[in-house]
Amino acid sequence: MKYSGTLIAVSDVAKSKDFYVNVMEEKVIMDLGVYVAFESGLCMHSDYEGLVGVKLEARARPDNFELYFETEDLAAWETKLKSVEGLEFLHESKEYPWGQSVLRFYDHDKYIVEVAETMEGVAKRFMAQGLSVEETAQRMMSPIEFVKQFV
């Protein structure tokens, strides 16, 4: 058994596919019209109720999970995402206590999407500021072995 990805039920597969391809830069590996699969493991289906054969109650804003993306250049992504008309941000970029910067917004179907700085990027940023591996690990609230892999 292995985890193979996430499937989200979408209201308009063409609109959602356009967003994830043209904004989030996902690569399509299969497009069956009502079903789209991306190289990353993310999939979407526009007739999920028909697929499972059970009456389902759609929630306008589930707020109980998020789609998580990482980048080496969060500032560039924030600029790009701010230029997307109608995108609603939960919050703009902010730094968490372990040093990682993150932003969150809602996609077309009101699923939470997180874009975060990679932890490797956090470690390299701290070390470029002069922190030792040990100080970086402490600042990141991570084991030293985790930080050492980025040196």
Give the HSE-up count for residue 124: Cα atoms under 13 Å, Cβ half-sphere: 10
Note down pLDDT in tens along the chain; length 151 residues.
999 999 999 999 999 999 999 999 999 999 999 999 999 999 999 998 888 998 887 787 889 999 999 999 999 999 999 999 999 999 999 999 999 999 999 999 999 999 999 999 999 999 999 999 999 999 999 999 999 999 8
Contacts of 80 (CB under 8 A, 6+ apart): 23
Question: Is the pTM value of this prediction over 0.75?
Answer: yes
Q: Which ranges in 23-132 belong to alpha helices (H)?
A: 48-52, 74-82, 119-128
Report the alpha-carbon distance of residue 48 to residue 101 in Å, rounded.
Answer: 34
